[in-house]
Structure 1
Amino acid sequence: MKLQSLVLAAATTLAMTSAFAVPAGTWTVGAGAHYVEPKSDNGTLAAGAYSVDVDSDIRPTITGEYFFADNIGVELLAAIPFHHDITLTDTTGATIDARTQHLPPTLSLQYHFDGYNMPMNVKPFVGVGVNYTTFFKERIYDGAGSDLKIKDSVGVAGHVGVDFPYSATEAFRIDARYMDIKPDVELNGADIGSVDISPWVYGVAFVKSF
């Protein structure tokens, strides 16, 4: 599924109404874990001298959502830092290792299909929003003591998921997000291009409503 499909689904469903809904004023808090899987081709750096490969990682996450209207909420995703190993491969096949950490707070406007009499009382939802990813503790092991800097990134984020309630205020959640993350990169203060990380992010969580 492409980001455009997620945005279209979010825009369409935000206009829908139902006879029963998550009431305005409800809060939910979710605690779980998310797996960040960068796209397979992360582009090149230094005018094509190096191809880039960024690996995946999983970390605990937390979400908070406030419903300002029936079935419509604003959610913030937060996490402890994700860690990624990076491999730079030159045209001869020689490699240089690097690594970074990042935090990807994401704010989303979401529509929940509550009250639609879904099978097994499942409650799907869709959302669209903005992701801000900040990178830190970058390292490059090129044997020259070089300084690697990955700039912060801002991009669109899409979100789909399903809640499986097992009490009136508790549910198990599975979800998937697409994040547009394309940070600029500097080496020893010089701009060497950008990295197209743009991951899919898959998660599970326990969600409690108040």
Structure 2
Amino acid sequence: MRTSALVGALMLGASLLPATAAAQERSGSVQVKAFATAVLPDGKISEVETDIVGLPAATQTEANDNVVPTVAIEYFLSENLSLETICCLTQHDVDAISGLPGAELVADAKLIPATITAKYHFDLGAAKPYIGAGAAYFIFLGEDPGAATLPLGVTDFDLSDEFGLALQAGVDVPLNDRGLGISLDAKRYFIDTTARWFVGDTVAIQTEHQLDPWVVSAGLAYRF
């Protein structure tokens, strides 16, 4: 009995070795993704805090969409858990859609959506879907007052950098056994910003805006 039990244990251990090796192989690996990414922000006004120029009461705004290249870098902590960060720069205008329809209020606002997410991966064989969540910090660079604000005497403009939350879901599909694959990814951010238009050193208009963009990506992945 003892001999047969020992043989059985050895056989079981041997059968688990490939799975253990695969898990160890995945742990510590890095995956790089090159994406084409659609950035789809909201941009609507949630609150008018300062208005010394007399904006129409029904004024509402919207940010334009943009498509940009992005790079994601992912580190696997284990077979199912990973950390991911993305790198991109996207540019947006903000126009009025009511009150002052068609008026350009913000021009060329460049945004770096610094993001890190923790992801959980499922293995369905040919497809490996995942879900994730994390933190984001939106950094605005070089934003200008829109053309419609210049006749009001506006001389400068600022969008506040802000922290927020990001939720994520997607799927990786391996194309071969050498680490190449395709990837589809969607993130929803929950983040606001404060917009300030200045006349000299005076804040003429200050508004709170819901950005809350969808960021939808498709591209190639390589894990090594």
* Contact 1:89 1:96 (C-alpha < 8 Å) held by counterparts: no
Equivalent residues in 2 for 1:20-59, closer than 5 Å? 23-39=26-42, 41-43=44-46, 45=48, 46=50, 49=57, 50-59=59-68
- Residue in 1 aligned with 2:16? none
User: 1:92: Cα distance to partner?
Assistant: 5.8
Question: Which letter does structure 2 place at the counterpart of 1:32?
Answer: F
Q: CA RMSD in A?
A: 2.4
CA distance in 1, matches of 2:129, 2:101: 45
Question: Which letter does structure 2 place at the counterpart of 1:91?
Answer: G
- Residue in 2 aligned with 1:14? none
Equivalent residues in 2 for 1:94-113, closer than 5 Å? 95-99=103-107, 100-113=109-122
Question: Which letter does structure 1 place at the counterpart of 2:143?
Answer: E
Question: Which letter does structure 1 place at the counterpart of 2:83?
Answer: V
Unaligned runs of 5+ in 2: 1-18
CA distance in 1, matches of 2:98, 2:143: 20
Tell me, what secondary structure is at the counterpart of 1:31? strand
Equivalent residues in 2 for 1:153-164, closer than 5 Å? 153-164=162-173
Question: Which letter does structure 2 place at the counterpart of 1:183?
Answer: T
- Residue in 2 aligned with 1:4? none
* Contact 2:36 2:217 (C-alpha < 8 Å) held by counterparts: yes
- Residue in 2 aligned with 1:64? 73
* Contact 1:44 1:51 (C-alpha < 8 Å) held by counterparts: no
Equivalent of 1:180 in 190, 206, 215: 190
CA distance in 2, matches of 1:181, 1:146: 27
Question: Which letter does structure 2 place at the counterpart of 1:176?
Answer: A
* Contact 2:92 2:110 (C-alpha < 8 Å) held by counterparts: yes
* Contact 1:160 1:176 (C-alpha < 8 Å) held by counterparts: yes
Tell me, what secondary structure is at the counterpart of 1:195? strand
Identity of counterpart residues, as a percentage?
24
Alignment coverage as a number of residue pairs: 188
Q: Deviations over 1:84-118 (max 9, x none)?
A: 1111356364724322111112100001113x43x
Equivalent of 1:149 in 152, 158, 171: 158
CA distance in 1, matches of 2:140, 2:43: 20
Unaligned runs of 5+ in 1: 1-17
Tell me, what secondary structure is at the counterpart of 2:192? coil
Matched, 1:128 2:133: yes
* Contact 2:96 2:103 (C-alpha < 8 Å) held by counterparts: yes
Equivalent of 1:83 in 91, 98, 103: 91
- Residue in 2 aligned with 1:9? none
User: 1:51: Cα distance to partner?
Assistant: 1.5
Question: Which letter does structure 2 place at the counterpart of 1:204?
Answer: A
User: 1:194: Cα distance to partner?
Assistant: 1.2
Question: Residues 94 and 199 from structure 1, CA distance in 2 versus in 1: closer, same or farther, beyond 3 angstroms?
Answer: closer
Matched, 1:209 2:207: no
Larger CA deviation: 29-38 vs 183-192 = 183-192
Equivalent of 1:73 in 79, 82, 88: 82
* Contact 1:42 1:54 (C-alpha < 8 Å) held by counterparts: no
Question: Residues 206 and 96 from structure 1, CA distance in 2 versus in 1: closer, same or farther, beyond 3 angstroms?
Answer: closer
CA distance in 1, matches of 2:194, 2:75: 33
Q: Which is helix-richer, 1 or 2?
A: 2
Question: Which letter does structure 2 place at the counterpart of 1:155?
Answer: G
* Contact 2:45 2:207 (C-alpha < 8 Å) held by counterparts: no
User: 1:173: Cα distance to partner?
Assistant: 0.5
Who wins on radius of gyration, i.e. which is larger?
2
